[in-house]
Chains A and B, each alone.
Chain A
């Protein structure tokens, strides 16, 4: 692996800092989800899992990444910038007029974005379509769909789950950010999803469950998913929304909120001094 786990953990902290800075500047956007899902994207993009080439974003053999929860935009943009798709400086333009970094990702604006997204519950259907299309064309690429847990309220999600099971799409892997919150509150109060694992298994999927903040565990699960044939794979990533900033962690009120400058300052201070994940001040 190009990066060792320690380096990836430090990168995760850097990405969190970028998210806080982007949201503070934009003065709107979503905070809790993106902060909690950082490790999933780190594992995928920097853990030797994903086949991609920022210099050739339309490479036909690339793996596809479908982001179903487009409100994770600040996280996605930070990851793509660090992966080399565009200059990190552009992160400052999030949600500004004329920016390629739209409030929710727009496929045609930015390289590395496979689908325009925002309305949740639609990503998996598109990922299933891609997986079917790639199989038909004999292209051996994987399709990854990153999803939230709240979007399992949507009927469309389950329609897509059924179809993937029917066609035994073993080139499809989804990561579910199981952070237990959605806009109106805790998922189990708004619309109970459990037993989520059993539900997927009943639809003929293979399910893996991981600590969504453990990069090593995530990489292991993603590698395992590649080796599972005849079934699509769902990786349930148990996470803490707002991870890394104590006043955001676990608070569903932070789902769709951006930090003000004092809050951002406090958040950055906490992130800088995260135990075991201290960023070098020389950077």
Chain B
């Protein structure tokens, strides 16, 4: 059942309002600009697409357009941070942190200049643009970098909260966003903290827990919740953690649920290698080994199609999740 303590959207399964994470980010960025005069925004020719036009119109002097130059954007952001600014640099994730990874490594992370790196269009849900624009490697690229936190919000509201929290976070932050609209799962009153994950779905305490805990992040959290609701109808109680905190991991929470579970499933719109599931597996194999099943893209590229078609094609939709749970439970 939905965790009643988190003030989640009561309409999740009815007809939830849909909005994209980039919309939430755009709104949050303006708010961040209002709250802190040192916030500056940098973009690489995708201003409207990333909803940074809101910030640009409000604070034109604090908006820097770099053109299609993501490597330069990382260096310039580092320099702005050195001059006392709080730069937020955004582009599509395949290009940032994809194309400019070394600049992020040296100019931002090794330099310990605080920059907020926003990678939108992460995952298969980019859809018709196809494999070139579907970032499936960005978590792997970012979570190996010291002095960089990695955050993957699950809806537009979390994206809005994440950018605001990132402004005050002590290190640089990578914020992973989706392109496609998705249901609003949370409310303004749902907590959000970088480094903390939340249990969105709890097993009914009056019933027997199946022992399956799902760690899922981003756009797919809703798919997992739908799977949980259907499994519940079949008498299967699972737990679902919205694992927005990819780095640092919410270790306490993960350990707590690992101890209660007999198996874990990780689900992400990312390569299985090096992703969120890998991070959890690295932690648990040392601290509480148990069977872990990885759902993600398995050493392949994406392709063109509608977001939902692709999620189905790559076995990441509610049906695939339900089947995986049953397969583990041998039902």
Residues of chain A touching chain B, judged by Cβ–Cβ distance below 8 Å, are 60, 64, 66, 106-108, 114-119, 122-134, 136-137, 139, 155-156, 159-160, 162-163
| Contact indicator A137/B83 (Cβ below 8 Å) | yes
Instruction: Report the separation of the CA atoms of residues A224 and B79 in the bound assembly, to the nearest whole angstrom.
Output: 25
Instruction: Report the separation of the CA atoms of residues A130 and B112 in the bound assembly, to the nearest whole angstrom.
Output: 15
| Shortest beta-carbon distance from A115 to chain B in Å | 6
Instruction: Report the separation of the CA atoms of residues A156 and B82 in the bound assembly, to the nearest whole angstrom.
Output: 19
| Shortest beta-carbon distance from B128 to chain A in Å | 29
Apart from A122-B107, A125-B79, A163-B69, list 17 A-B contacts with CB within 8 A: A115-B82, A116-B107, A116-B111, A118-B106, A122-B103, A122-B106, A125-B76, A128-B79, A132-B76, A133-B79, A133-B83, A134-B83, A136-B61, A137-B83, A137-B84, A156-B71, A160-B76
* Chain B contacts for A130, CB-based, 8 A: 79-80, 82-83
Bitwise, B43-83 to A at CB < 8 A (1) or not (0) is 00000000000000000011010110101101111111111
| Contact indicator A159/B69 (Cβ below 8 Å) | yes
| Shortest beta-carbon distance from B43 to chain A in Å | 13
| Contact indicator B102/A159 (Cβ below 8 Å) | no
Instruction: Report the separation of the CA atoms of residues A163 and B73 in the bound assembly, to the nearest whole angstrom.
Output: 10
| Shortest beta-carbon distance from B78 to chain A in Å | 5
| Contact indicator B62/A136 (Cβ below 8 Å) | yes
10 tightest A-B contacts by CB? Answer: A129-B79, A125-B75, A133-B83, A159-B72, A129-B76, A126-B79, A159-B69, A130-B79, A129-B80, A133-B80
| Contact indicator B82/A114 (Cβ below 8 Å) | yes
Instruction: Report the separation of the CA atoms of residues A125 and B74 in the bound assembly, to the nearest whole angstrom.
Output: 8
Task: Indicate which residue in B67, B75, B85 contacts A133 across the interface (CB closer than 8 Å).
Answer: B85
* Chain B contacts for A124, CB-based, 8 A: 75
* Chain B contacts for A122, CB-based, 8 A: 71, 75, 103, 106-107
B110 interface residue per 8 A CB criterion: yes
Task: Indicate which residue in A107, A132, A156 contacts B111 across the interface (CB closer than 8 Å).
Answer: A107
